[in-house]
Amino acid sequence: MTNGPLIVQSDKTLLLEVDHPDASACRMAIAPFAELERSPEHMHTYRLTPLGLWNARAAGHDAEGVVDALLRFSRYPVPHSLLVDVAETMDRYGRLQLLNDPAHGLVLRGLDRAVLVEVAKSKKVAGMLGAQLDPDTIAVHGSERGHLKQVLLKLGWPAEDLAGYVDGEAHPIALRQNGWQLRSYQREAVEHFQAGGSGVVVLPCGAGKTLVGAAAMADVSATTLILVTNTVAGRQWKRELLARTTLTEDEIGEYSGERKEIRPVTIATYQVLTTRRNGTFPHLNVFDARDWGLIVYDEVHLLPAPMFRFTADLQARRRLGLTATLVREDGKEGDVFSLIGPKRYDAPWKDIEAQGWIAPADCTEIRVTLPDADRLAYAAIEPEEKYKFAATAKAKLPVIEALIQRHADEQVLVIGAYLEQLHEIGRYLDEQGVPTPIVHGGTTNKERERLFDAFRAGSLRTLILSKVGNFSIDLPEAAVAVQVSGTFGSRQEEAQRLGRVLRPKGDGRQAHFYTVVSRDTIDTEYAAHRQRFLAEQGYAYTIVDADDVLSGPAGG
């Protein structure tokens, strides 16, 4: 392409011109292997990382395809050194293999003798390897399968784990045939997972990850341990399994702070497993309580650090990670890759939208100019207080109200992070004649239920949500969300909040996602960081001035 949308630079960044006619085709082509780094209005920056290339490799893409995509969309000649580097990096995955040798048990096999010699010399693998069996094979201590993979990844030679899995204790599980079937992408996800035996499936919020889990369980038909972030999610799993599989009430156990049941299918919270007492973990027996044939990690992007240690010892069991966003803010993507497994399936949000399983959404960033007094105050305060000050600016209040008026026929959620601010918004909206209750952490379960029921029934049109909206999944769906403040730059929070409005509307209506930020402050920067993940999924933010919202006629 002589005038393509992509500029490929030798520092491994890719610049995508957003308004170019081929921009969206280009984004589709590079998404499987490149990570979006910055997404301002006109030029998006992607980066090629080893982990991104290895994930693509594990998902079946080869260097030739990656090189082809870069050449096809590049505006200028692509630096030769970069193409060589891409090919070499991708070729590093799988030069070492972990295999199960009938005579010697777990072994490390080098498809390249020099690589095997190189890593065997490393101090970091000391103690993990046993005898050299032949020039291409070294015995591995069975208990070090996970640790070795972590170390090899850090050395830049990620091993392909072909050592197989134990079957575990068989337990019949089948999908019920009662008038539903797996969607095509769910079926593909299960097939890709099955082929690898361990790894991560990435699907948007509301795309039915639980059913992917249920189908994987039916395939394996063995006792299963499901790990979840909170008890609400655990109950949701149980409800879904009862509805969609042949499993019955007494086959499914809950292992949480409240209950300690271990059944053929056990749903446990991460937190109960990672609680410590006197320096030990009193609930680790759950892992050995049964001969689990499958372990499901729900919301794998939130996996707490100690879980990686336990997972290192579970490498012989099939492992399925489920998530909407593989990105972690703590940089532990490498541990997910080594210990849960590579990404096996990834359906872009826009693809699922095109199939009609999630509603189309338009995202708008509304910039509010602070009054002079606030700008002066902002300039003077300590850096650590700047974000809160900018995010909770009073100038946002009329904009929130105008948005609620603009969508007078829709149900609106107002979502924020600071309780004081949310109460202030509640008072303001009350004064404007839009009574809007708040649901926050301190709201009792009974009261939450009452408000959510009223919202679902339509008798309540507007609702303010605190961070409860990031965690709990038993929340109402709306067509419009207004985000007023966030947890600094959390990308998963943004994705979670957008997910609140993506349930398909009966009449094919659009969903609207607004984020209100203070101009010329750190609020704008954090908003840009939060938007990165969704930009990667193809959601374009329109930036408008608050005055257009306040004065303009009803639009949208």
Partner DNA sequence: CACCTAGCAA
Partner DNA sequence: CTTCATGCTAGGTG
- 71, 468, 540, 550: which one binds DNA (CB under 7 A): 468
20 binds DNA, rule: CB under 7 A? no
Query: Is 513 within 8 Å of 483 (Cβ atoms)?
Result: yes
11 binds DNA, rule: CB under 7 A? no
Shorter beta-carbon distance to DNA: residue 384 or 409: 384
- 134, 258, 288, 409: which one binds DNA (CB under 7 A): 258
Nearest in space to 410 (alpha carbons), one of 486, 539, 513: 513
- The CB-of-429 to DNA minimum distance in angstroms stands at 18
Structure token digits, residue 336: 């997910």
Q: Which one-letter amino acid corresponds to residue 421?
A: Q
Which range, of 26-34, 38-46, 97-105, 461-469, touches DNA by CB under 7 A?
461-469
Terminal Cα distance for the chain, rounded: 37
Q: How many helices (H) and strands (E) does the chain have?
A: 23, 23
- 210, 256, 462, 518: which one binds DNA (CB under 7 A): 256
Among residue numbers 110 through 169, which ones bind DNA (CB under 7 A)? Answer: none
452 binds DNA, rule: CB under 7 A? no
- The CB-of-162 to DNA minimum distance in angstroms stands at 33
Going 484 to 490 to 493 to 498, the CA torsion angle's sign is positive
Nearest in space to 413 (alpha carbons), one of 478, 360, 457: 478
Among residue numbers 382 through 441, which ones bind DNA (CB under 7 A)? Answer: 382-385, 387-388, 417-420, 440-441
Taking the C-alpha atoms of residue 336 and residue 200, their distance in angstroms, rounded to an integer, is 8
Taking phi over 0 as left and psi of -120 to 50 as alpha, with beta for the rest, 480 belongs to beta
Query: Is 23 within 8 Å of 16 (Cβ atoms)?
Result: yes
Shorter beta-carbon distance to DNA: residue 111 or 381: 381
- The CB-of-392 to DNA minimum distance in angstroms stands at 9
Taking the C-alpha atoms of residue 543 and residue 540, their distance in angstroms, rounded to an integer, is 10
b/e string for 235-263 if b means 16 or more Cβ within 10 A?
Answer: bbbbebbeebbebeeebbbbbbeeeeebb
Q: Which helix (H) or strand (E) holds 133?
A: strand 129-134
- The CB-of-489 to DNA minimum distance in angstroms stands at 6
- 181, 184, 275, 542: which one binds DNA (CB under 7 A): 275
- The CB-of-447 to DNA minimum distance in angstroms stands at 12
Query: Is 465 within 8 Å of 323 (Cβ atoms)?
Result: no
Q: Which helix (H) or strand (E) holds 87?
A: helix 80-92
Shorter beta-carbon distance to DNA: residue 24 or 231: 231
497 binds DNA, rule: CB under 7 A? no
Within 8 A by CB and 6+ apart from 370, the residues are 378, 390, 393, 395, 518, 519, 520, 521
Shorter beta-carbon distance to DNA: residue 448 or 456: 448
- 60, 142, 172, 442: which one binds DNA (CB under 7 A): 442
Query: Is 148 within 8 Å of 107 (Cβ atoms)?
Result: no
- 60, 156, 172, 282: which one binds DNA (CB under 7 A): 282
Structure token digits, residue 136: 């291409």
- The CB-of-324 to DNA minimum distance in angstroms stands at 18
277 binds DNA, rule: CB under 7 A? yes
Q: How far is CA 230 from the centre of its chain?
A: 16
- The CB-of-492 to DNA minimum distance in angstroms stands at 14
- The CB-of-275 to DNA minimum distance in angstroms stands at 4
- The CB-of-349 to DNA minimum distance in angstroms stands at 25
Shorter beta-carbon distance to DNA: residue 420 or 431: 420
Strands (E), 325-445: 343-346, 361-368, 412-415, 438-439
462 binds DNA, rule: CB under 7 A? no
Shorter beta-carbon distance to DNA: residue 176 or 260: 260
One character per residue 338-377, x = contact with DNA (rule: CB under 7 A)? ----------------------------------------
Shorter beta-carbon distance to DNA: residue 155 or 419: 419
Taking the C-alpha atoms of residue 342 and residue 480, their distance in angstroms, rounded to an integer, is 35
238 binds DNA, rule: CB under 7 A? no
Rounded to 10 degrees, what is the CA torsion of 354, 355, 358, 362?
10
Shorter beta-carbon distance to DNA: residue 104 or 423: 423
Query: Is 423 within 8 Å of 438 (Cβ atoms)?
Result: yes
Shorter beta-carbon distance to DNA: residue 269 or 315: 269
Among residue numbers 298 through 327, which ones bind DNA (CB under 7 A)? Answer: 304-305
Which range, of 70-78, 151-159, 230-238, 498-506, touches DNA by CB under 7 A?
230-238
- The CB-of-387 to DNA minimum distance in angstroms stands at 5
Query: Is 461 within 8 Å of 219 (Cβ atoms)?
Result: no
Q: By rule CB under 7 A, what count of residues binds DNA?
A: 38
- 364, 487, 510, 524: which one binds DNA (CB under 7 A): 487
- What are the residues binding DNA (CB under 7 A)? 230-232, 256-258, 269, 271-272, 274-277, 282-283, 304-305, 382-385, 387-388, 417-420, 440-442, 466-468, 471-472, 487-489
